[in-house]
A and B are shown apart, each in its own frame.
Chain A
Amino acid sequence: MAGADSDDSLYPIAVLIDELRNEDVQLRLNSIKKLSTIALALGVERTRTELLPFLTDTIYDEDEVLLALAEQLGNFTMLVGGPEYVHCLLPPLESLATVEETVVRDKAVESLRKISHEHSPVDLEVHFEPLVKRLASGDWFTSRTSACGLFSVCYPRVSSTVKAEIRQHFRTLCSDDTPMVRRAAASKLGEFAKVLELEYVKSDIISLFTALASDEQDSVRLLAVEAGVSIATLLPQEDLEALVMPTLRQAAEDKSWRVRYMVADKFSDLQKAVGPEITKNDLVPAFQNLLKDCEAEVRAAAANKVKEFCENLPEDSRETIIMTHILPCVKELVSDTNQHVKSALASVIMGLSTILGKDNTIEHLLPLFLAQLKDECPEVRLNIISNLDCVNEVIGIRQLSQSLLPAIVELAEDAKWRVRLAIIEYMPLLAGQLGVEFFDEKLNSLCMAWLVDHVYAIREAATCNLMKLVEKFGAEWAQNTIVPKVLGMANDPNYLHRMTTLFCINALSEVCGQEITTKHMLPVVFKMSNDQVANVRFNVAKSLQKIGPVLDSNCLQTEVKPVLEKLASDQDIDVKYFAQEAISGEFSTIILKYNLHRCKLMTQHYVTLKLKKQKT
């Protein structure tokens, strides 16, 4: 390796190139990632004349290095001297756009698209467009695939003759011999259509779209569906029926489920693109078919769109269409054989109630909700419960409460703890909607039962749940219903349950307020400081630290501190540790309190004095 040049700012390119050639791939990769630093060291002139030619020539490296290079070059404009010289970057990127590995090629195309905007219109025609043409007529499919992504960025800014050429090239690629290129063309068709003049959309794009949508490979046909949606947004309403709809209708009934899936997946976009009339005449029956499709995959995708589709129906006929066409299919889906179809439906079905209004909801939807609430698959039930708020707005949750309860109880006792966890998370929401009475009567015992679940995550979620409930129902409610039960667990023979009491106190003290905490909780905590299990004792220390901010300073000094001091001399090392932590923590809490209550200028010295005074 040659030594560095005597001039610090000018490194001989040989040294830098040595780095880029290093035998170790990792080192090469590192160097490439710092390519901009190298370029900076060389200056714009030498970057253009020495570095770029070198990069163009030695492009046969590991794909990982090439990927980094492709990315770097997209941000290189300033390093080669600004937009005037940006075309210098084209040769290496052109080679990168032809390599085998897809990620490298895609990155090269991305960078080319980026720097295309930095070309002046003249440069675009002189340098960029010829590159696109070369790629489009490359021997191997990779370069032609890359070309597909570049047409749309140069089309708007070139002269009309060049535009005609570009259209011709795109047309050729759409009927390419290899399916890989046709797929690339199909996926860029919508994007290309957007930059074309409307007359060419009608004359060129439509025929390409029709051809791709009836390709022999379903992987090409399905990509045409998405393009179809984009094209439909570009055309005036009166042309849609003749130009796009026949093909889209055919796609919705394609023999390959993948294509039908794609139609179902894009259905809302499609609906927006074609407008209300076509929606009424064509999309409604098509949607019905998709909801009844023989593949569960397709049905699930369509079921996911039920709410959105109904929402976007033209207002004048919305209700009739839903009631006569959509709802019958939805009813069938409720008892579908595939649980994922059902759960897709369950996640949106509640949304229909706001669209249909109170009476229809009670008469038609309610039975479906109830059926889904009894579904054998927990995911379905959960999806219904998690969307209860939609129904609540329309008919009030009372209508459901009788069926809700068994469903909740069953989920609450599900064998899978994740299901139990999920239902706990909806408890505060449910409680808010069902009201305190219903809750006390039916759900309170469930919430308490979770506190002694054998899975820690459930016990933890249950304590957090209690806190949220108290936030909803207030401290008084807590004192009457929850606190006694929680404190009762302090005498449980199982130490895990005794610890749960402490965790609950941690969570509840703040929402319950100083009075309840001091009067009811604190004595229990103190009592537990004599527990025979060390884990309980050190959790007492932790709890005292946690609830400290709720207590008044007098109580802290006279009651809490002695207990902590006792624990600090415990025989167990962990108990000692946490007690000491708590003492120093408690101390800082007091400081904090004074800072808040008294005066901001109070110094620590003063606090200490004050503390001493209190002590004596």
Chain B
Amino acid sequence: MPSNTSAPSAKKVDGFTRKSVRKAQRQRGCQGSSQFAASSSRPAAPEISALPQLKDASSTEQHELFMQKLQQCCVMFDFYDTVTDLKSKETKRATLSELVDYVSTNRGVLVDPVYPEISTMVSTNIFRTLPPSENPDFDPEEDEPTLEASWPHMQLVYEFFLRFLENPDFQPSTAKRYIDQKFVLQLLELFDSEDPREREFIKTVLHRIYGKFLGLRAFVRKQINNIFLRYIYETEHFNGVAELLEILGSIINGFALPLKAEHKQFLMKILIPLHTAKGLALFHAQLAYCVVQFIEKDPTLTEVVVRGLLKFWPKTCSQKEVMFLGEIEEILDVIEPTQFKKIQEPLFKQISKCVASPHFQVAERALYYWNNEYILSLIEENNAKILPIMFGNLYRISKEHWNPTIVALVYNVLKTLMEMNSKLFDELTASYKCDRQREKKKEQEREELWRKLDELRLQETSAIQNNRHEIQFTYSNNNNNNNNLHDKNENPAAAITDRIESNTWAK
């Protein structure tokens, strides 16, 4: 038991989240930052002393002083150590807040030479390898996030950077030499920060950059895609999915019509598979917004989207199922009647299953569709198709469901359906029993078929398995001496077929 907890985790490919290593780190409170922890092995930060105020300097000195202050702010302090450098920390804080003020209120301060200095200052302060998460089972819905220890400085740096980007004198053409692909890539990695305050700032920063640097747009989109793909298929861990989706929501809004293939691919290969993520609850609202935006832009996408959602429909997680039902309703709210016809059958087969769910929240959420005027009108218009799909389960549930609320809702729905098409309704009621019996018979036939197939299998498998061993053996021999393969390769194959045949005959 105790030796297990500290056994090397060599088997894991990237065994970073070893539980044992994590929990104790909580001791040092909810503060973490890789960058500053590093200082124990670094020389202590040089002391910085306050420079004169910018507003007191003459306009000729101001520029020089601005540069000096920017350089001064590149000095980093250890925020785990709450005792040392107190004075210098305060000086840096005051300087940063003065700089924020300076770039937001003054015109004409952004001359060319300050761009590289600003870029260096910002990079030094915010770009870092994020520390290991202190809680391996971090549940963003339950647990307190780890907050960034150096936030008192970092916040001001973000603030300053934002004001810089928003300054009317800001020149993207000058800045693009410094705010380049590498810069953006590092910025995107920071979206994984556990500190929500930081993610909020980066979101706005990235949004500004996306707006101002046209040359970076495609790159930003591609990198976001990569982050999502890694999240979906590799790590299932990334803190900033919701924030990235928010940015994408507004980007999608601005897409020109007709949509480029790239954007459609993004919808189908990334947004839809994102629904499979374990942490869907954390960003479902933003995700559904993006999906609906796409459908509103281009209604012909409705069919693929709905089919995609149906493919990834949750099988065991009721909470997610409710979310899916919510998203489908959002889609139905904006669906065009012609598109509705294309998906009504598979969709209502699923809805019918949801209505019959033993989990009452799922059943209830699905039954609420019948309170939606627009959906009701779509159902009415297509009742000849939908009624037969829904009827069986509704009828059964009205008799069997454990939850009285559900039964009451089902009665209402049945009543609505009856009023829509009483003739069809009567027919369905009449044939209900027959249908069940036919299903039962079909089931029996299936079982019979498989039974016969299994018998057949029993007779033959043993022979085949005997053969397989010999073949693998022959071929692994072949692997080893590939020098004389070419003259030999006919023979083993022939030998094998011989053997198979002789075995079959022996049977």
- A295 touching B34 by the CB < 8 A rule? yes
- A343 touching B20 by the CB < 8 A rule? yes
Instruction: Say if the beta carbon of B368 comes within 8 Å of chain A.
Output: no
For B12, the closest partner residue in chain A by CB is A265
Looking at the complex, which one of A1, A84, A117, A258 makes contact with B476 (CB distance below 8 Å)? A117
9 closest cross-chain pairs (CB), A and B = A347-B6, A339-B24, A294-B38, A382-B2, A340-B21, A256-B129, A102-B233, A344-B6, A37-B457
- B2 touching A78 by the CB < 8 A rule? no
Looking at the complex, which one of A337, A341, A422 makes contact with B1 (CB distance below 8 Å)? A422
For A183, the closest partner residue in chain B by CB is B234
Q: In the complex, which range does the number of interface residues on chain A fall in?
A: 35 or more
Instruction: Say if the beta carbon of B338 comes within 8 Å of chain A.
Output: no
Chain A stretch 4-46: residues in CB contact (< 8 A) with chain B: 4, 8-9, 11, 15, 19, 23, 27, 34, 36-38, 40-41
- B13 touching A187 by the CB < 8 A rule? yes
B interface list, Cβ under 8 A from A: 1-3, 5-10, 13-16, 18, 20-25, 27-28, 34, 37-41, 129, 131-132, 182, 185, 226, 229-230, 233-234, 269, 273, 311, 349, 442, 445-446, 449-450, 452-454, 456-457, 460-461, 464, 467-468, 471-472, 475-476, 478-479, 482, 485-486, 489, 492-493, 496-497, 500
Q: How far is the CA of A37 from the CA of B461 in the complex (A)?
A: 9
- A296 touching B25 by the CB < 8 A rule? yes
- B6 touching A100 by the CB < 8 A rule? no
Please encode chain A, from 210 to 221, with 1 for each CB lying within 8 Å of some chain B CB and 0 for all others: 000000101100
Taking each of A79, A180, A266, which has the highest tally of chain B beta carbons within 10 Å of its own beta carbon? A180
For A347, the closest partner residue in chain B by CB is B6
Shortest Cβ gap from B185 to chain A (Å): 7
- A1 touching B37 by the CB < 8 A rule? no
A residues less than 8 Å from B468 (CB atoms): 77-78
- B450 touching A34 by the CB < 8 A rule? yes
Shortest Cβ gap from A182 to chain B (Å): 10
Contact A258-B450, Cβ < 8 Å, known A121-B489, A343-B5, A343-B6? no
B residues less than 8 Å from A339 (CB atoms): 24, 27
For A100, the closest partner residue in chain B by CB is B273
- Interface of B (DSSP majority class): helix
Contact A338-B25, Cβ < 8 Å, known A157-B485, A216-B185, A218-B129? yes
Looking at the complex, which one of A41, A296, A422 makes contact with B21 (CB distance below 8 Å)? A296
- A82 touching B471 by the CB < 8 A rule? yes
B residues less than 8 Å from A111 (CB atoms): none
- A297 touching B16 by the CB < 8 A rule? yes
- A179 touching B449 by the CB < 8 A rule? no
- B449 touching A4 by the CB < 8 A rule? yes
B residues less than 8 Å from A383 (CB atoms): 2-3, 6
A residues less than 8 Å from B20 (CB atoms): 340, 343
Chain A stretch 206-252: residues in CB contact (< 8 A) with chain B: 216, 218-219, 222-223
Chain A stretch 299-355: residues in CB contact (< 8 A) with chain B: 300-301, 304-305, 337-341, 343-344, 346-347
Q: How far is the CA of A38 from the CA of B449 in the complex (A)?
A: 11
A interface list, Cβ under 8 A from B: 1, 4, 8-9, 11, 15, 19, 23, 27, 34, 36-38, 40-41, 62, 77-79, 82-84, 100-102, 117-118, 120-122, 140-141, 156-157, 178-180, 183, 187, 216, 218-219, 222-223, 255-258, 261-262, 265-266, 292-297, 300-301, 304-305, 337-341, 343-344, 346-347, 377, 379, 382-383, 386-387, 418, 422, 425
Shortest Cβ gap from B344 to chain A (Å): 16
For A348, the closest partner residue in chain B by CB is B6
Looking at the complex, which one of B9, B479, B497 makes contact with A82 (CB distance below 8 Å)? B497
B residues less than 8 Å from A15 (CB atoms): 449
Q: How far is the CA of A1 from the CA of B447 in the complex (A)?
A: 13
- A295 touching B496 by the CB < 8 A rule? no
- A120 touching B16 by the CB < 8 A rule? no
- B6 touching A36 by the CB < 8 A rule? no
- A157 touching B449 by the CB < 8 A rule? no
For B39, the closest partner residue in chain A by CB is A294
Q: How far is the CA of A82 from the CA of B472 in the complex (A)?
A: 11
For A222, the closest partner residue in chain B by CB is B14
- A295 touching B131 by the CB < 8 A rule? yes
Contact A77-B471, Cβ < 8 Å, known A40-B456, A292-B41? yes
Q: How far is the CA of A8 from the CA of B452 in the complex (A)?
A: 8
Q: How far is the CA of A207 from the CA of B418 in the complex (A)?
A: 73
17 interchain pairs (CB within 8 A)? A1-B445, A34-B450, A78-B464, A117-B479, A120-B493, A121-B482, A140-B269, A157-B478, A157-B479, A258-B16, A265-B9, A294-B37, A294-B40, A296-B132, A346-B6, A383-B3, A386-B3
A residues less than 8 Å from B445 (CB atoms): 1
- A40 touching B24 by the CB < 8 A rule? no
Shortest Cβ gap from A298 to chain B (Å): 9
Taking each of B8, B454, B493, B497, which has the highest tally of chain A beta carbons within 10 Å of its own beta carbon? B8
B residues less than 8 Å from A425 (CB atoms): 1
Shortest Cβ gap from B468 to chain A (Å): 6
Q: How far is the CA of A9 from the CA of B496 in the complex (A)?
A: 25
Q: How far is the CA of A327 from the CA of B332 in the complex (A)?
A: 69
Known: A294-B38, A387-B3. 7 other contacts (CB 8 A): A37-B457, A78-B467, A82-B497, A141-B229, A256-B129, A304-B6, A379-B6
Q: How far is the CA of A77 from the CA of B471 in the complex (A)?
A: 10
Q: How far is the CA of A223 from the CA of B450 in the complex (A)?
A: 47
Shortest Cβ gap from B483 to chain A (Å): 11
Shortest Cβ gap from A113 to chain B (Å): 12
B residues less than 8 Å from A343 (CB atoms): 5-6, 20
Shortest Cβ gap from A154 to chain B (Å): 11
- B500 touching A82 by the CB < 8 A rule? yes
Shortest Cβ gap from B221 to chain A (Å): 13
- A262 touching B14 by the CB < 8 A rule? yes
Taking each of B2, B182, B452, B475, which has the highest tally of chain A beta carbons within 10 Å of its own beta carbon? B2
Q: How far is the CA of A1 from the CA of B443 in the complex (A)?
A: 11
A residues less than 8 Å from B446 (CB atoms): 19, 27
Q: How far is the CA of A339 from the CA of B452 in the complex (A)?
A: 62
- B482 touching A156 by the CB < 8 A rule? yes
- B129 touching A257 by the CB < 8 A rule? yes
For B453, the closest partner residue in chain A by CB is A37
B residues less than 8 Å from A294 (CB atoms): 34, 37-41
Looking at the complex, which one of B2, B13, B182, B461 makes contact with A379 (CB distance below 8 Å)? B2
Q: How far is the CA of A338 from the CA of B472 in the complex (A)?
A: 52
Taking each of B10, B14, B21, B24, which has the highest tally of chain A beta carbons within 10 Å of its own beta carbon? B21
Q: How far is the CA of A183 from the CA of B230 in the complex (A)?
A: 10
Shortest Cβ gap from A198 to chain B (Å): 16
Q: How far is the CA of A372 from the CA of B41 in the complex (A)?
A: 24
B residues less than 8 Å from A4 (CB atoms): 449, 452
Q: How far is the CA of A15 from the CA of B482 in the complex (A)?
A: 45
- B5 touching A297 by the CB < 8 A rule? no
Q: How far is the CA of A591 from the CA of B14 in the complex (A)?
A: 60
Q: How far is the CA of A396 from the CA of B475 in the complex (A)?
A: 56
A residues less than 8 Å from B182 (CB atoms): 216
Q: How far is the CA of A83 from the CA of B41 in the complex (A)?
A: 61
For A384, the closest partner residue in chain B by CB is B2
Taking each of A36, A78, A341, which has the highest tally of chain B beta carbons within 10 Å of its own beta carbon? A78
Shortest Cβ gap from A600 to chain B (Å): 39
- A338 touching B24 by the CB < 8 A rule? yes
Looking at the complex, which one of A121, A141, A257 makes contact with B34 (CB distance below 8 Å)? A257
B residues less than 8 Å from A337 (CB atoms): 27-28
Looking at the complex, which one of A11, A40, A156, A222 makes contact with B449 (CB distance below 8 Å)? A11
- B3 touching A83 by the CB < 8 A rule? no
B residues less than 8 Å from A223 (CB atoms): 13
- B25 touching A62 by the CB < 8 A rule? no
- B5 touching A379 by the CB < 8 A rule? yes
Q: How far is the CA of A294 from the CA of B349 in the complex (A)?
A: 56
Shortest Cβ gap from A84 to chain B (Å): 6
Shortest Cβ gap from A119 to chain B (Å): 8
B residues less than 8 Å from A84 (CB atoms): 493, 496-497
